[in-house]
Structure 1
């Protein structure tokens, strides 16, 4: 992984990111000879970092493109404060700043849940840069009170566990694996939201690695930032205004996961309707049956195929899409990290494929 220190309007942040290209597993910059290939930036959901996109970066079809992933504030390897008021607008400006620093002027965005919210906001603020938006499990226009309460409960358990096990003066690291502990309760709540209480071996490994990167010690300042990033980001959101949405100049695809227990498809359709009424010309809703909220992990084959076709259609006539790379060249930049926490790459249950 690579680090990119930036001075932002709300403080100094060092973003953790990675770039994979058709010929390179991980690079700090896109090689000049691949600069004209379509580029996609992946924005992760709450709690975990960019590593959640292991199944996408290991997909041969998607590796026809340049793929960029970064950790948002207070997540995984990115260092810096969220600060009061952190939300989708600050996050969208972060995305734009990172892409500008990487000298990538135009890009497609793939966002999952919270990442999708940031993706739409980026297309509002920087319409000249965003070529298309693909959102899996979009957030509703405003957070339902019961889901917001659940997010607060997850944070409360996390805070209790961090204070007991990972605070200054403690010799122990906060451990979500400890049965009966508050950190385990926080993890269980997150799994209920993301996987209907049935996490996969891959996601367990993703969580373990993401939480390791957050560090073993939690100060009051860090916990305050974690609350902003994992609770306030959602509960303090206001609905997009029609004026804001009218700035969008690119197509938007909204993928609803059919077994999502937090947000029914009607909420996705409500967002699509508002986008269309605001003048966004190409808004489509699709559904993946039986997929939970974090469907990119459980149903990568279906979602990857949808996204591959979507990017190709957005690039029709450009002549810049390379042929499929050789299978032996396709390795996820996170494979070694996942193996380091015990994941075996033949455990991808639903797709029937091995992701390396």
Structure 2
């Protein structure tokens, strides 16, 4: 990315690391990453949008990647949503298209519901607007992460699985796991390096409140993208349910050959869906 620059910004009391690319006068796009990953997962989209003349910013959530650490209570989704609102303001991004995968998508939905004046369109990829449906199961993972980080293995009911492999199963679809070892190995190596503090970020996601009621009559165009092989939030959770919660401004699609991370697994298909979605903005 020859035109990309990296930096950090003080937003809502957190120092958020970001990568920016594309012409400064281009229509802004903000990209928000998944839990357990960093803004690098959004770089395939960043490159495509920057090449098309958009001004693109991909950032790390507080407590993850290159952004500042935070206590567990500072990682709840309302706080992360205010971080994004502050980042948009501090970087002078006028009504950006906001695109997020998983945790990033949950934040995008909340920003559209709570700060519609800041958002041109919102896209939630592999996300959920609801309470966590698998709370007990994911609480076991949170407890392990908090105590041991990503070392060791976890009993998943029908045997044990190394935590790095469990995270890969959550984050990727069957096709990616079977046929894209370069991608999965790169991220599993990153999972190995995650500290126990990642358990705090995971707890904030698992313990989140529903935003379904907040999205009713949302006027911001919202696209929900589900991965056809999502092991964590399969459609309709990550697709149809979100669109129906939004109402007339909501749309959803399903991306084939992708799991929980379509932005990383099938960026070309996601990019095509986004370029169709963006013109829905008023």
**TM-score bracket, shorter-length normalisation:** 0.7 to 0.9
Scaled by the length of structure 2, the TM-score of the pair is 0.83
- Bigger RCO of structures 1 and 2 (CA < 8 A, at least 6 apart): 1
Which residue is equivalent to 1:165? none
Which residue is equivalent to 2:3? none
Which residue is equivalent to 2:185? 204
Structure 2 spans left out of the alignment, 5+ residues = 1-5, 155-160
Q: How far apart, in 2, do the equivalents of 1:111 and 1:57 lie?
A: 12
Q: How far apart, in 2, do the equivalents of 1:124 and 1:71 lie?
A: 21
Q: How far apart, in 2, do the equivalents of 1:94 and 1:82 lie?
A: 15
Structure 1 spans left out of the alignment, 5+ residues = 23-29, 163-173, 317-356
Q: How far apart, in 2, do the equivalents of 1:156 and 1:271 lie?
A: 29
Deviations 1:133-178 (A, max 9, x none): 1121122511112xx344334344444544xxxxxxxxxxx8x6xx
Which residue is equivalent to 2:243? 272
The answer as to 2:280 corresponding to 1:314 is: yes
Which residue is equivalent to 2:207? 236
Aligned length: 266
Which residue is equivalent to 1:294? 261
Q: How far apart, in 2, do the equivalents of 1:186 and 1:80 lie?
A: 22
Contact 1:113 1:136 in 2 (8 A): yes
Contact 2:221 2:281 in 1 (8 A): no
Match of 1:154 among 122, 141, 144: 141
Which residue is equivalent to 1:16? 17
Match of 1:3 among 1, 5, 8: 8
Which residue is equivalent to 1:262? 232
Compute the RMSD of aligned alpha carbons: 2.7
The structure that has the greater radius of gyration is 1
The answer as to 2:167 corresponding to 1:190 is: yes
Q: How far apart, in 2, do the equivalents of 1:149 and 1:201 lie?
A: 32
Which residue is equivalent to 2:157? none
Q: How far apart, in 2, do the equivalents of 1:185 and 1:211 lie?
A: 10
Scaled by the length of structure 1, the TM-score of the pair is 0.67
Q: How far apart, in 2, do the equivalents of 1:124 and 1:211 lie?
A: 35
Aligned-residue offset at 1:315: 5.8
